[in-house]
Amino acid sequence: MAPQAPSPLFTVDGMQFFGRELGDYLAMFSLPAERLPGLRVLDCPSGPGSFVAESTARGACTVGVDPLYAQPLDVLLARGRRDVQHTIERMQLKASAFADIDLAAYQASKLRALDRFAADYPAGISEGRYLAASLPALPFPDRHFDLVLSAHLLFTYSDPAHGGILPDSPFSLEWHLRSAEELWRTCRGELRLYPTTTRWETPSRHAWAERVCERLEALGGRTRFEPSTFARGNHASDSLNACLVVTR
Ligand SMILES: C[S@@+](CC[C@H](N)C(=O)[O-])C[C@H]1O[C@@H](n2cnc3c(N)ncnc32)[C@H](O)[C@@H]1O
């Protein structure tokens, strides 16, 4: 008999245009805010989050990339509101797994991020701080950024059988390897990827995170998993709740 596939904690109906505030980014990526001023930063995907606006206000030179930035702001706002609602509803179905998170406060934070994004977006588009592009092809020269951040796309949006939340995901292992290489190509300093675990009822390190490490090490990168303080539910232990850090 074939072994049973592990059961997903939750799934979503499609790609979610969902963003976060600066505090979430600092926790996810184990970054002190003091590191940001003066850095050239890429956030890909940036979604409808306020990291671009907030890190720019703190003196970083940040560019956010997302394929949906080709859309007008009113369309993005409507999509962002809908997707925050959808994601929270799916999390509420497994409320016990998210006992470490106040879901109402969590939702309010995502809506604040969306509002801050919307307020910054018109100026940000004209200043080139928001760019429409898609992994695995980014419109930047080699080693352009000091710090490259990528959250909640790789691993998270893989197929549930592989540990992600997106049924019929287009993001194969090959896509992950090419996308990680592309993020690394644009980076002269440090690449940080989060999260690195499966979204199964019993989480484990996503197998493709190890494959990404092998690929980037073959390209000369040094990889390590750094514990994250981001509350992501499902009793993720410190060693599992980690960000993958790649340095030269
Ligand atoms: C869940 S959001 C993550 C946003 C943010 N990094 C965070 O952690 O809150 C995922 C984003 O990935 C974007 N996306 C989808 N396909 C992509 C691709 N091929 N390359 C880059 N971003 C993509 C979606 O438009 C969406 O905004």
Tell whether the model's pLDDT for residue 4 goes beyond 80.
no
> What percentage of the chain has pLDDT greater than the value 90?
88
Is 20 a pocket residue for ligand 1 (Cβ < 6 Å)? yes
DSSP alpha helix (H) spans, the chain = 22-28, 51-57, 73-92, 103-126, 173-185, 207-218
214/247 Cα distance (integer angstroms): 13
Which of the four pLDDT bands, split at 50, 70 and 90, describes residue 6? Answer: confident
Give the angle 112-118-120 at the CA atoms, nearest 5°. Answer: 105
177/46 Cα distance (integer angstroms): 20
Assign domain 22-247 to a CATH class: alpha beta
**Confidence (pLDDT) at 96:** 87
Is 107 a pocket residue for ligand 1 (Cβ < 6 Å)? no
Is 151 a pocket residue for ligand 1 (Cβ < 6 Å)? yes
31/73 Cα distance (integer angstroms): 29
155/193 Cα distance (integer angstroms): 9
In this structure, are residues 192 and 146 in contact, taking their beta carbons and an 8 Å threshold? no
Mapped onto helix, strand or coil, the DSSP state of residue 118 is helix
Tell whether the model's pLDDT for residue 215 goes beyond 70.
yes
Q: Which of the listed residues 12, 15, 166, 193 should we mutate to test ligand 1's pocket, taking the one with most ligand atoms within 8 A of CB? A: 15
Is 67 a pocket residue for ligand 1 (Cβ < 6 Å)? yes
Question: Which tens digit of pLDDT belongs to each residue from 80-89?
Answer: 999 999 999 9
Tell whether the model's pLDDT for residue 133 goes beyond 90.
yes
Is 133 a pocket residue for ligand 1 (Cβ < 6 Å)? no
Q: Which phi-psi region, left, alpha or beta, contains residue 234 (left: φ > 0; alpha: ψ -120 to 50)?
A: left
Tell whether the model's pLDDT for residue 159 goes beyond 80.
yes
Secondary structure letter of residue 12 according to DSSP: -
pTM of the entire predicted model: 0.97
Is 19 a pocket residue for ligand 1 (Cβ < 6 Å)? yes
CA distances to 39, 60, 237 from 205, in Å: 30, 31, 11
Exposure on the CB side of residue 248, measured as CA atoms within 13 A: 12
| Residue of higher predicted confidence among 161 and 239 | 161
Nearest residue by C-alpha to atom 2 in ligand 1: 18
Nearest residue by C-alpha to atom 7 in ligand 1: 19
| Total Cβ atoms within 10 A of residue 7 | 9
The residue type found at 103 is: L
Tell whether the model's pLDDT for residue 236 goes beyond 70.
no
Q: Is the peptide bond before 136 cis (omega within 30 degrees of 0)?
A: yes
